[in-house]
Amino acid sequence: MTPGTGARRPVVAALYREALPPRIAQVQELAEVRLTKADGLAEAMDGADVLYQWHSFSPALKENWAAASTLEWIHVSAAGVSQLLFDDLIHSNVIYTNSRGVLSRAIAEFALGFVLDMAKDSHGSFRLQQEQRWQHRITRKIHGQSALVVGTGSIGREIARLFHAVGMNVSGAGRTTRPGDADFDVIHSSRDLANVAGDYDYLVLAAPLTADTTGLINAGVLAAMKPSARLINVGRGQLVDTNALTHALATGSIAGAALDVVDPEPLPAGHPLWAMDNTIITPHMSGDTEDYLDDLGKLFVDNLKRFCNGEPLENIVDKTLGFVPAP
């Protein structure tokens, strides 16, 4: 898609921290671009039509909101935006888009990798290798195992597709209970997790962080899981009560966990989770593949072309919900 003859040429304030946004030359072909770091954001937004928030976790927008009076559209290079929304922005007429979908496949692959790591005890094999020990063991198969994916958006659906591809049975949990669809055998209400968690071998978290999902996985949900079940979190650390999870893992209430995100983050040195043999911890990297930055840049360029042509934008966030609603 390219801008038409009468396409608008907007002013774009592009907020970055260190490296410039990828594909910035393409952005400059479409718009007047004001590149800025956080300390210059107020000046850059003066008279600007668009804010390209490449420095996606910066609080600078909230701090300089008074200078954003002409903004029509804000795009952030992240999928999760709960930490970026604030009342003045939520109640404004500014369109807010995110990068939903760009990282979904990579995160789903990471979640499947966690399942395979735990089922085949890859970490146990590595430890034995380091000790130069040839010790035969029995592992678990994943065909026929069941997973409940909490979060039925883009990431959750990619996870479901990959899990189905290896023969797993996959249900979802979302805001409301509804019959199964193309990706999930059935969709439960997230409010019913304590009642249904015991039916699954894997509880996989891929939900956005909202007021309703914060602390969703609490002691009650963990106690309801099978002792042989595993928890996987590729969503947000605050979805889980960390103290309750630590207790469940230490006491054997659940068999294990694989955590790409934690609360707090980073996990402090000396925290009990670091030393647990039944826990895998990675540093919030499940979506970060070799080419993901360029993919994020391409999404903005494509959406900017739509903006210039007066066409509907993709990935519009419902600011009261904190995520892009499913179609």
**Is 138 in the same domain as 260?**
yes
| The model scores a pTM over 0.85 | yes
Average pLDDT, rounded, for the chain:
95
Q: How many residues does the chain have?
A: 327
Number of domains the chain is built from: 2
Assess if residue 272 is contained within a domain. yes
Q: What is the pLDDT of residue 5?
A: 57
Cα angle value 159/164/166 (rounded, 5°):
105
Q: Which amino acid is at 256?
A: G
**Is 63 in the same domain as 109?**
no
CA distance 85 to 298: 23
Domain that holds residue 54: 11-102+290-308
**Bigger pLDDT: 280 vs 321:** 280
**Is 96 in the same domain as 109?**
no
**Is 96 in the same domain as 18?**
yes
Q: What is the pLDDT of residue 19?
A: 93
- Alpha carbon 231 to its chain centroid, in Å, reads 16
**Is 212 in the same domain as 158?**
yes
Question: What percent helix, strand, coil does the chain show, rounded to 5?
Answer: 35, 20, 50
Strands (E) across 144-185 are located at: 146-150, 169-174, 178-179
Assess if residue 81 is contained within a domain. yes
Of the pLDDT bands very low, low, confident and very high (cuts 50, 70, 90), residue 326 is confident
**Is 20 in the same domain as 112?**
no
* Letter string b/e over residues 54-68, b meaning 16 or more CB atoms within 10 A of that residue's CB: bbbebebbeebbebb
Segment 38-52, tens digit of pLDDT: 999 999 999 999 999
User: What values do phi and psi take at 166, rounded to 5?
Assistant: -100, 15
User: What values do phi and psi take at 91, rounded to 5?
Assistant: -90, 5
**Is 42 in the same domain as 142?**
no
Assess if residue 321 is contained within a domain. no
Q: What is the pLDDT of residue 6?
A: 66
**Is 246 in the same domain as 117?**
yes
pLDDT of residue 181 exceeding 90, the answer is: no
Assess if residue 34 is contained within a domain. yes
β-pair type (202-205, 186-189): unpaired
**Is 161 in the same domain as 224?**
yes
Percent of the chain with pLDDT over 90: 90
Assess if residue 113 is contained within a domain. yes
Catalytic residue ranges: 236, 265, 284
Q: Which of 166, 162, 161 is nearest to 183 (CA)?
A: 161
pLDDT of residue 1 exceeding 60, the answer is: no
Q: Which amino acid is at 261?
A: V
β-pair type (186-189, 178-179): antiparallel
Is the CB of residue 146 less than 8 Å from the CB of residue 202? yes
Q: What is the pLDDT of residue 166?
A: 98
Segment 75-128, tens digit of pLDDT: 999 988 988 999 999 999 999 999 999 999 999 999 999 999 999 999 999 999
Distances (CA, A) of 173 to 196, 232, 251, 257, 313: 10, 14, 26, 19, 28
**Is 162 in the same domain as 33?**
no
Q: What is the pLDDT of residue 7?
A: 81
CATH number of the domain encompassing residue 152: 3.40.50.720
Distances (CA, A) of 213 to 24, 82, 304, 310, 322: 35, 11, 32, 35, 11
**Domain final residue pick, 281, 300, 320:** 281
Assess if residue 124 is contained within a domain. yes
Assess if residue 269 is contained within a domain. yes
Residues 241-261: what's their mean pLDDT?
Answer: 98
Q: What is the pLDDT of residue 2?
A: 63
Q: What is the pLDDT of residue 150?
A: 98
DSSP 85-118: --HHHHTSS-EEE--TTTTHHHHHHHHHHHHHHH
**Is 59 in the same domain as 130?**
no
Assess if residue 91 is contained within a domain. yes
Percent of the chain with pLDDT over 70: 98
**Is 251 in the same domain as 122?**
yes
